[in-house]
Structure 1
Amino acid sequence: MSVALSVLLCLLWTQTDGVRIGDPNQNRSEAPDVAVMADLSAVIRRVEPRFLSVTIDASLASEEKFMFLLRFGGTRQDFMVFTPQRPQPDSGFTADPSCDKLELPSWLEDKLKTEWTRQQMVLMREDLQRKYRRVKFTENTVDLLHSFTNCSGMDLIFGLNALLRTADNSWNSSNARSLLQYCESRRYRMAWELGNEPNSYEKKAGIRVDGQQLGKDFTRLRQMMSQSRLYRDAGLYGPDVGQPRDHRTDILGGFLQTGDEAVDACTWHHYYVNGRDTSLEDFLDPEVLDTLALKTNEVLEKVKLVSPGKPVWLGETSSAYGGGAVGLSDTFAAGFMWLDKLGLAASLGLDVVMRQVFVGSGSYHLVDDNLDPLPDYWLSVLYKRLVGPEVLKLRAFRGAAAGKRVRLYLHCANRKSYRSGAVTLMSMNLSRKPARISVPALVSGTVEAFVLQAERPGEEGLYSRSVKLNGDVLKMVDDKTLPELTGSRLPPAEHLQLPAYSLAFFVFTDAGAAGCL
């Protein structure tokens, strides 16, 4: 989640609109660009079943009416104040709106979408100016948010405002207590976090909070939760620090000294680049992708030193900070950063990766302003369906032509979709040329291939907001129905060619991997 399996099964891909098998009698002496050896005998790591998670940015609650677009973290989490407007019901009363009553009339949905587009421009200007106004939210926001996650089968982690401080700079917990009491009265099962990127409090609000004080604040929240029958065993996660840089590691270290026992997992944030001055080349640069390993190892080492065994999560992450890179973070190009992050994070030992953002302001969202899926949404759905939580050991031997631009990760296949023993190879080709790969499996086994390419070929296609699966453009059947996401079943062949600028999942259904049985 080790005797290496040395049987190499090879397939051939050609860059066409579909998937085709090459001539099995082709020249077998020609070496592939990448030869892969995998150990299928044991799992080296196992991540949480909730490994791929998503965030909903608190900006959506900047005006409460936009919460109706959900059929929350982020920067504004620390500027939100719970403002009750109706009497709380008796503790035995539950009034969560039923799932079949959440649908909006089409005219109202269209009106809110149009207004949300304008609202995003206002929020982006505030971000650029670093001017954050206090946002009041009522029980309606909490009800709608809980209903959305409950009806979607999601677990909810609610981010509390940590910038409410007392005169001695400790956390003022009175507003959070009111919110917890309301949620308990409604029997809303949820987990909690406190604050967002405490390393930037001074820049955002002129307030400096050191790590040790932060740990004490979390301990205070845990004590409040312990007084609640409903939340005494609920999850608490934090401190959601930014990635290691300058004093940020000091905040994490100080937090762990005083607050590590309060949290169920230690959370931090990671972005590769600044969204305001990045480029397509950055999104395809293996050296940029490798920076995740450096930052992750820094965090893991610090947590292990103070709190060995404590799970570590990426509590917020995407391609580029500052709201994403316009014209890149919501295009096919972003998929290389996203899939590589999922593969690398699991192999390094991160238990959960929370993608910023499912819906909210910025340009790194998974659905567009019309709530239609963007490329990373489709990629995430396929990952959820095809990839299991168990990580297998893989070694790739690359020729000069492939370099680091072919990146591969191996997991047991998702057992809800495939029989035990099946394995899934996640593959990506960041090069403009096809890559020939040898992959491990049983020679007689069948492979299901799911190859994602941009709607248009070549480098220009990387800016596309549409994606093809095995040659067919993915589109919703209607407002509620996903299309069939089926793979191409391939018989054994000699070599595999991963198309230029492509992402792929290869499921070896008959691998019989001992580690996956």
Structure 2
Amino acid sequence: MKEKTDEEGAALVITFKVCVVFHLLGPVGLDLDLDLDLDLDLDLSTVVRRVDPRFLSVTIDASLASQERFMLLLRSQRIRTLTKALSPAFLRFGGTRQDFMVFSPQSSQQPDSTSGYPRELRPGRPPVELSWWLEQKLKEDWIQHQLLSVCFSELTVDELNSFSSCSGLDLIFGLNALLRNTDNSWNSSNARSLLQYCESKQYKMSWELGNEPNSYEKKAGIRVDGYQLGLDFSHLRKILSESKLYRDAGLYGPDVGQPHSHRVDLLKSGQSSALCSDSHSCYYVNGRDTSLDDFLDPEVLDTLAVKTNEVLEKVEQESPGKAVWLGETSSAYGGGALGLSDTFVSGFMWLDKLGLGARLGLEVVMRQVLLGSGSYHLIDDNLDPLPDYWLSLLYKKLVGPEVLNVSDSGRNKRVRLYLHCANRKSYARGAVVLLWMNLGRKLARISLPDLIANSTVDTFVLQSDQLGEEGLESRSVQLNGVLLKMVDDKTLPDLSGARLPAAGHVKLPAYSLGFFVFLEARASACS
């Protein structure tokens, strides 16, 4: 995660002047231009971080399985098309309901003809394509659904495996850690039953034990410290080692929520050699009392660095070199902020988290959620992609795992920049991609140095379908002025950038974000 690539010869450091010219969005003829000069340094010779190719990953909340008929939504061709486009990625099945879920083989919850669902949609049967009428019924029921049940059967496991396999995602299944013995150790009997079933079906998957153990006392009146969690992870690793299929399977945790002060001590469980990485959850704000201004506030965005550095320091003390993940994250906790977490303005928090998280040294960032649960989803209740989905898709297409250094002095905090090698599946070696966002209501113009100025540029500018502050709460997004929407259930729109000839500058429209790919940057770090 902290790997640096040493290139032969002296490091090539490129320094250029950035001129940001702001124009107030006011009446025609109002001349209120403001010039701001910034010095920007780029090092194109050294990889300062290298993230996992599955860096941007997604979650499905365990609440989807609280009534198992909703798991059938994963058979939707539309959902599978959208999800496959995000591969490679991890798919984490977990969340708050995870620690209340009990595997109950052949439970009475499975769909049958008496509940309005066909008999062929049963555990163990080959997956069939979801009919339009059943998809519509499931969507309507899901919107009105209240979480009541905690049992799941083979159907949940079958559907998750089929979905992840067809979509090309690596499944991580979250196990219930609140099943406890009288001595407060983890009771593994239910997990053993689930593992035996999964092994009998030859399902390849990884595992997680528990979700946000810092909240166990509040949720269930049970207190578990870091030492006990470490013993629990070792116990699960021993069980996995007894399986031919899962002896080398991934095991992740402890997924501590908002770790700070005394809760950081729970990360001590991550020192267990049983774990492949140390994971935690992180949100910026409380979804119940946040505001539009919070989503555009640089100081709110900067809190990610404070929280992440605290976790990185703790993990390095306890287990040097261990990878650190954001195992669950989005804009606002408590299910998100309705009208904000599911709209265009959420993209500023999301892209900044991806850029800053990679630069700080996080190896994987898992977005809560792909669909269902709360208002921070990527796909809405009608199975249509939201603005953060399109942003995620562009990130996957354009951004490579190698993080490059970009820094400046006196930078305006409302213009935020990150630099990576471009994705080699989309661009030739040596190309770089600048991730950027303009949080302000003023146009920004960046002047480029000769080396970059002589490069062809693919531009990807994301804006709301309504310009100005009014559009920040829109659930639609435009790429280079064209509204993004699916062509049909099997077809995504063309996401080609606007290719511009070499020029001396690039422009960042007000309230916009996106990517500039410099095709002929000839970055040695990307070669």
TM-score by length of 1: 0.89
Name the aligned partner's letter for residue 111 of structure 1.
K
2:21/2:444 contact within 8 Å kept: no
Give the match for residue 435 of structure 2.
426
Separation in structure 2 between the aligned mates of residue 438 and residue 312 of structure 1, nearest angstrom: 36
AA partner of residue 136 (structure 2):
D
CA distance in 2, matches of 1:449, 1:96: 47
Question: What secondary structure, in the 3-state scheme, does the structure 2 residue paired with 1:327 have?
Answer: coil
Match of 2:141 in 1: 115
**CA deviation map 1:149-207 (0-9, x unaligned):** 00000000000000000111110000000000100010000000000000000111111
Select the residue among 221, 230, 247 that pairs with 2:262.
247
SS in 2 for 1:496: strand
Q: Which residue of 1 aligns with 2:68?
A: 64
Cα distance in 1, alignment partners of residues 248 and 141 from structure 2? 40
Query: SS in structure 2 opposite 1:165?
Result: coil
Aligned-pair CA distance for 1:438: 3.0
- 2:391 alignment partner in structure 1: 379
Within 5 Å, give how 1:476-495 maps onto structure 2.
476-495=486-505
Within 5 Å, give how 1:108-507 maps onto structure 2.
108-119=134-145, 122-123=146-147, 135-253=150-268, 255-256=269-270, 260-398=272-410, 403-439=412-448, 441-507=451-517
- Determine the C-alpha separation between the residues in 1 that align with 2:242 and 2:231: 17
Give 1:247 deviation, angstroms: 2.1
2:12 — aligned with what? Answer: 3
Percentage of identical aligned residues: 68
1:75 aligns with 2:96: yes
**How many Å separate the matches in 2 of 1:15 and 1:109?**
47
Report if the CA contact (8 A) 2:330-2:376 is conserved.
Answer: yes
Q: Paired residues, what number? A: 477
Deviations 1:50-88 (A, max 9, x none): 1000000001001000001013211000000001129xx
Q: Separation in 2 of the partners of 1:292 and 1:9? A: 26
Provide the C-alpha distance between the structure 2 equivalents of 1:39 and 1:265, rounded to a whole number of angstroms. Answer: 29
Q: Is the 8 A contact 1:13 1:499 kept in 2?
A: no
Cα distance per residue 1:20-47 (max 9 Å; x no partner) = xxxxxxxxxx966544321101111100
TM-score (norm 2): 0.87
- Match for 1:145: what amino acid? L
Deviations 1:435-490 (A, max 9, x none): 12234553321000000000101111000000000001101001221100010011
* Conservation of the 8 A alpha-carbon contact between 1:13 and 1:496: no
Residues in 1 aligned to 2:38 and 2:439: alpha-carbon distance in whole angstroms: 13
Q: Deviations for 1:76-111, whole angstroms, at most 9, x for unmatched residues?
A: 00000001129xxxxxxxx9766xx44211011001
Contact 2:17–2:38 (CA<8 Å) still a contact in 1? Answer: no
Tell me, yes or no, if the aligned pair for 2:51 and 2:361 is still in contact at 8 Å.
Answer: yes
1:339 and 1:102 map into 2 onto residues whose CA distance is: 36
Structure 2 counterpart of 1:108, which letter?
L
Taking a change above 3 Å as real, the CA distance of residues 34 and 449 of structure 1, as seen in their structure-2 partners, is farther
CA contact (8 A) 2:21 2:36 kept: no
Structure 2 counterpart SS, 1:298: helix
Determine the structure 1 residue equivalent to 2:523: 513
Q: Distance in 2 between matches of 1:201 and 1:498?
A: 45
In 1, distance between residues paired with 2:23 and 2:487? Answer: 28
Distance 1:435 1:268 in 2: 35
Contact 1:35-1:438 within 8 A present in 2 as well: no
The whole-number CA distance in structure 1 between the counterparts of 2:452 and 2:353 is: 28
Q: In structure 2, what is the Cα distance between the partners aligned to 1:509 and 1:333?
A: 29
From 22, 36, 50, the counterpart of 2:40: 36
Specify which structure has the bigger relative contact order, considering alpha-carbon pairs within 8 angstroms and separated by 6 or more residues: 1
AA matched with 1:437: I
Checking the alignment, whether the CA contact within 8 Å between 1:96 and 1:147 is kept in structure 2 is no
Secondary structure class of the residue paired with 1:6: strand
How far, CA to CA, are the matches of 1:102 and 1:438 in structure 2?
A: 54
- Paired letter, 1:46: R
Deviation at residue 308 of structure 1 after TM alignment = 0.4
**In structure 1, distance between residues paired with 2:141 and 2:161:** 23
